[in-house]
Amino acid sequence: MARAKFSEIKQHILNAIEDGSWASGSKLPSENQLAEEFCCSRMTARRAVTELTEQGVLERSQGLGTFVAGVNAQSSMLVIRNIADEIRERGHEYSVRQIVLRKEPALPEVAAALEIETGSEVYYSMLIHFEQQKPLQLEYRYINPKIAPNYLQQDFLTITPHEYLSQAAPLTEAHHKVQAIIANDVQKQQLKLEDQTACLQILRRTWSRKGVVSFARLVHPGNRFHLGGHLTF
């Protein structure tokens, strides 16, 4: 079955972005030009552009046209990726600061997330991930020590928790919960935020074959980070 014209246009745009023909900020041909090139109606071209805009691939500017969206701090809800890799793939500098790495008793929320008893010993880390020397993510992570017993011996200035856990306890399952929050005082300080700055918080649980590996709270400045994804059916 022949592919629908709007799908052809979408794939053409995605291919041009992926191979570097259209870099971030590049202006796209108009809907009329796309319609003429693909021998279709303007409405068909508009549908393709609209869907890519809704997915965060493109950005529209009133009166100016449609542009390839900036790739700054875009992550995907469809996969779990290493934040250091994401930043470097954007051609930006990645750095990290380790704030906390210790054992502590599991509070009820953490115990429930890790499916262990309240008060049980867990490993806890708190890191700040930077992009271009700007704080991008404040990561609070709780680890089940029975599944990743060597977590506290890692140097998270040279390897991220995600990288280590992917090796020590390969992931088989994950669950995300996304929330909009207002940063508390600690988060404002660590992320260098102004008062009442909205943040995007991701609560993430991950499993390996042995059970729940980790429970992470990932806090991002709302003006530096957004989630995106692309599905093909």
pLDDT of residue 229: 56
Q: Which residue's entry shows tokens 């303007």?
A: 42
Residue whose pair of structure tokens reads 């609560």 in the numeric block = 203
- 47's tokens: 């549908």
H-only helix segments in 65-214? 83-89, 108-114, 161-168, 185-191
pLDDT at 54: 77
| pLDDT of amino acid 233 | 44
In tens, the pLDDT along 144-165 reads: 999 999 999 999 999 999 999 9
pLDDT at 196: 74
- Residue 138 tokens read as 């404040």
* Predicted pLDDT at 208: 87
Domain architecture of the chain: domains with CATH: 5-68 (1.10.10.10), 74-228 (3.40.1410.10)
Region label for 220, one of left (φ > 0), alpha (ψ between -120 and 50) or beta (otherwise): beta
Residue 22 and residue 62: Cα distance in Å, rounded? 20
Which residues in the chain come in under a pLDDT of 70? Answer: 1-3, 70-79, 226-233
Cβ–Cβ < 8 Å for 103, 152: yes
Quote the pLDDT of residue 1: 39
134 three-class SS: strand
**Token pair of 221 as six digits:** 């400045």
**Residues 123 and 156: beta-carbon distance below 8 Å:** no
Grouping H, G, I as helix, E, B as strand and the rest as coil, residue 113 is: helix
